[in-house]
Structure 1
Amino acid sequence: MNLTRDRMHIIGWGVALAICFALVMLLTFRVNAVKSQVHLADREIARLKQEKLFLETEFETRASQQQLQAFNQVDFGYQAPKAEQYLENERQLAALGKPRSVDAPSPIRVASAEAVSSETRLMPALAQQGSAVLDIAAHAGEADDKPVKSVKRLKPSELSDHLAQLGARAGHRE
């Protein structure tokens, strides 16, 4: 009998454990179902907030359109373009142009110049701590037809004299 009683005890614990496991599974499914409903409710809330924002924007836009229409009727008198106001090509647009009047300002013109090569232009003088540096290599080489590779340091007082000499040389060659 002892054997049967032990077996009944084990079977009882197995049934109790199975019931507990079934209840835990049922509770887990219920919790997951509630979580799913919460996520759906959150999505619905987000969608409704977006729709509310859209409707508020639409309402404000229509209200401002009515205000603009009232301003237009009272102050400006603008009208929507009609079909005959549209042009088909550039010639029709050009035909609308008028000749310039006598008192009209002259049109703006843009000046253009050819690029000057580095050999023919004077290099600018650079001021460095009270003395100026002038690269005369390109200009001295033009006069003698041989390149000079030195840079001469000039004081500001000597610089104007040197520039005058370079100008005189350039005048004699022409």
Structure 2
Amino acid sequence: MRYRRADVKGGTYFFTVNLAERHCRLLVENVDALRNAIRVVKQRHPFYIDAFVVLPDHLHAIWTLPEGDSDFAMRWLLTKAGFSRQMPMVDRRSASRKGKGERGIWQRRYWEHLIRDMGDYQRHVDYIHYNPVKHGYVKYAVEWPYSSIHRYISCGMLGNDWGGDIASHVEGGYGE
């Protein structure tokens, strides 16, 4: 059975991408390697990063693809591979992963969601920026260094105090 993904050319998508070992801190310990991998992919296959947060063992992102292009899967494949190539060969690999030439750093699949409208977009941007607070890494979203919230604050779209006890003020909070 083949997994079917959304296919909207020029679409805006929300993603959750996880490490295979969910107890690791690999992403924040190697955030420059992740940034480099993304930069290389963006140079070859442009897209816009609307929002992004890197946590120790997973990341969330919203990307908008160019008109006529819906191939986010190739971009994630290249990003994950580019990051993995920068890591030392110390990860455990199953026979299946070895047979496919995979490192075993990332979970094979990831979650994607096609953004439907501006309300959906705003909810997902807020979710991304609030995620470090939700996981207990910081008290306020601005305190997390690996987040696009800093761009939103510098542009005046959010205040420095955004994202403290926000879950109690938003209907439904930000549960996963």
Range class of TM-score, shorter chain: under 0.3
Name the structure, 1 or 2, with higher relative contact order (CA <8 Å, separation 6+): 2
Tell me which protein shows more strand as a share of its residues: 2
Question: Which structure has the larger Rg over C-alpha atoms?
Answer: 1
